[in-house]
């Protein structure tokens, strides 16, 4: 359990960086935390209000995932045949962006830095990233336990529910690294969309991190695809259903006031 300590510390540090004592708005943390179940509810009930285009998109995702499942063995062979020292070096760097033990402390320190420098966008972005990653990883971890799929390097086949009983070691579907990086990329791209280099950079990193799981023989292609979908969809829901922190200068009181909005 010690590997979860940095994760827990990072979450606490992010929340501590939230300005809680505004004279005008003193319930931001409460509203922010309440937005977690609200976002879950919004995601769970969204299909009831889908239009034709939404159903077509969902169908395309399911069909793509199904096709990748049937191609999993062939795609694995393709990646492993073309694996070499150069690809290993590239993807070793890329996969770090999907490591919980790295990315959560980064989020925490970024939030703290934003608080100390009075940078409202940095604090806001950190809180959005925290929420998106926590919710998406919760979905992924649940599916890992429910699907019971072996990782490809174990050479036990690509089937789901592969083995007797329930084992935490059968955790291939979906890819956690992919989920994490794709839960962050849309948030960063949206928050810094006015910068011409941020959106393409974060999506390139997300793609390379995803491919690293195939190069390293840690996941099937359908695992990676599912992780990317979970992360991306969660990020879009979080951006729509989270109170936003706004920091405004108040010259008349010679200081800073914190506000938030939906």
- Say what the alpha-carbon torsion angle 227, 13, 10, 2 is, to the nearest 10 degrees: -140
Bridge-based pairing of strands 255-261 and 244-250 is antiparallel
- Say what the alpha-carbon torsion angle 185, 15, 119, 259 is, to the nearest 10 degrees: 110
- Are 238 and 39 within 8 A, CB to CB? yes
pLDDT tens for the chain, residues 1 to 262: 445 555 665 665 566 556 544 434 457 778 888 999 999 999 999 999 999 999 999 999 999 999 999 999 999 999 999 999 999 999 999 999 999 999 999 998 888 888 888 888 898 999 999 999 999 999 999 999 999 999 999 999 999 998 888 899 999 999 999 999 999 999 999 999 999 999 999 999 999 999 999 999 999 999 999 999 999 999 999 999 999 876 444 444 343 334 444 4
**pTM, entire model:** 0.88
- Cα(140)–Cα(178) distance, integer angstroms: 10
């Amino acid at each position: 359990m010690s590997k979860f300590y940095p994760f827990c510390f990072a979450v606490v540090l992010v929340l501590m960086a939230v300005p809680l004592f505004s004279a005008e708005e003193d319930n931001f943390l409460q509203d922010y935390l309440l937005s977690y179940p609200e976002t879950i509810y919004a995601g769970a009930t969204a299909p009831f209000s889908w239009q034709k285009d939404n159903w077509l998109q969902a169908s395309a995702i399911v069909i793509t995932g199904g096709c990748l499942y049937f191609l999993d063995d062939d795609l694995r062979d393709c990646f492993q045949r073309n694996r070499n020292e150069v690809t290993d070096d590239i993807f070793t760097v890329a996969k770090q962006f999907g490591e919980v033990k790295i990315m959560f402390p980064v989020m925490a320190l970024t939030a703290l830095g934003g608080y100390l420098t009075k940078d409202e966008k940095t604090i806001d972005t950190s809180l959005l990233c925290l929420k998106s990653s926590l919710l998406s990883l919760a979905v992924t971890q649940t599916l890992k336990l429910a699907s019971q799929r072996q990782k490809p390097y174990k050479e036990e086949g690509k089937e789901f529910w592969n083995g007797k009983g329930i084992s935490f070691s059968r955790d291939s579907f979906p890819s956690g690294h992919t989920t994490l990086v794709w839960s962050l990329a849309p948030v960063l791209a949206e928050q810094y969309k006015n910068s011409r280099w941020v959106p393409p950079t974060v999506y390139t990193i997300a793609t390379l991190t995803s491919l690293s799981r195939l190069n390293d023989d840690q996941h099937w292609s359908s695992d990676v695809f599912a992780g990317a979908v979970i992360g991306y969809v969660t990020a879009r829901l979080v951006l729509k259903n989270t109170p936003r922190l706004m920091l405004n200068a108040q010259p008349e009181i010679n200081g800073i006031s914190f506000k938030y909005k939906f």
